Amino acid sequence: MSKVVLITGASSGMGRATVEFLAKKGFIVYAGTRDIKKFKNTKNTKIIPISLNITKQDSINHVADTIHKEQGKIDILINNAGFGVVSTVEDLNEEQMQQQFNVNVFGVLRVCKSIIPIMRKQNSGVIINISSFLGKIGLPLLTLYNSSKYAVEGITDSLRYELKDFNIRVHSIMPGFFDTKFARDNLVTNLQTFDKESPYAKMVMNLAPVIVEQINNGNDAIEVAEVILNIIEDEKFLARVTVGDKAKKFIPMKKELSDEDFERRVIEYYGL
């Protein structure tokens, strides 16, 4: 019997790659998205687009109920939806702060809140949170995104304890920079920070083009999909895993060095 997957943020990037990859492997994949029209040309019957807004608990509950009624179970949840605000802390506005955490953090919690009871009653399940290597490493201009991903790492750690008695595994994937539409579609820039008269103009001019270039010339999203499959199939898989060149470079370095030495390496690498 095919395993049933729900993935959020499914219409592009890592989400879309994972939907198509798992469907080809025989999984029934509910592709949660705010715009199901993006799946109008999909011919694989294993892919079931479903309208989902992770900022609305009612929307999430409806999706959970629909899948459970149609399939009788939900085996795997992949929390993938997210975006990034690029701004100095000084320039952040209240709306940007609220929205960043509403999607990246509270969205994860809302979806887990809705799906966990189903997994608990069936006494099985796998939850995979798509985090970021920036959930362990800070970078300027990405403070809000960093902190939201640090929170996702904390959610993952705590849920591993909370759900272990119900045979529910919880993991996080910390990708580096990947060649997806993230830099073009999912990075929201603060206009004040990017104003040429900003006191941070020099930092922006030095760092922002480098980050965007690294994202747009990063690893292929299929690498994340392959790791997701490995996590699903391996009951002894590690709590978290890095994917992509930058993540594999910086995360081990972070563990080996003192905070101060690591900071100096990042400053040197990015010319800060």
Per-residue pLDDT at 181: 59
At the fourth CATH level, which superfamily is domain 4-270?
A: NAD(P)-binding Rossmann-like Domain (3.40.50.720)
72 confidence band (pLDDT: 50, 70, 90): very high
Q: How far is CA 188 from CA 30, 182, 269, in A?
A: 27, 10, 24
Count CB neighbours of 235 within 10 A. Answer: 9
Per-residue pLDDT at 219: 78
Q: What is the rounded distance in angstroms from the CA atom of residue 170 to the CA atom of residue 160?
A: 5
Using one digit for the tens of pLDDT, what is the confidence trace for 43-68?
A: 899 999 999 999 999 999 999 999 99
Domain boundaries, the chain: 4-270
181-201: average pLDDT: 82
Q: In this structure, what are the phi and psi dihedrals at residue 178, rounded to the nearest 5 degrees?
A: -120, 150
Per-residue pLDDT at 29: 98
Per-residue pLDDT at 180: 61
Averaged pLDDT of the chain: 93
Nearest alpha carbon to residue 81 among 100, 59, 57? 100
Higher pLDDT, 112 or 212: 112
Name which of 86-90, 114-118, 184-188, 263-267 the model is least confident about: 184-188
Per-residue pLDDT at 263: 94
Burial class, 22, CB count within 10 angstroms (exposed 0-12 / middle 13-18 / buried 19+): buried
In this model, does residue 144 exceed pLDDT 60? yes
In this model, does residue 110 exceed pLDDT 90? yes
Using one digit for the tens of pLDDT, what is the confidence trace for 6-36?
A: 999 999 889 999 999 999 999 999 999 999 9
In this model, does residue 215 exceed pLDDT 80? no
86 confidence band (pLDDT: 50, 70, 90): very high
Nearest alpha carbon to residue 175 among 245, 234, 237, 127? 245
270 catalytically annotated: no
Residues whose CB falls within 8 Å of the CB of residue 207, separated by 6 or more in sequence, listed in order? 139, 140, 141, 270, 271, 272
Q: Are strands 28-33 and 47-51 parallel, antiparallel or unpaired?
A: parallel
Per-residue pLDDT at 30: 98
Q: What does DSSP assign to residue 178?
A: B
In one-letter notation, the amino acid at residue 151 is A
Which among 30, 145, 150, 200 is annotated as catalytic? 145
184 confidence band (pLDDT: 50, 70, 90): low
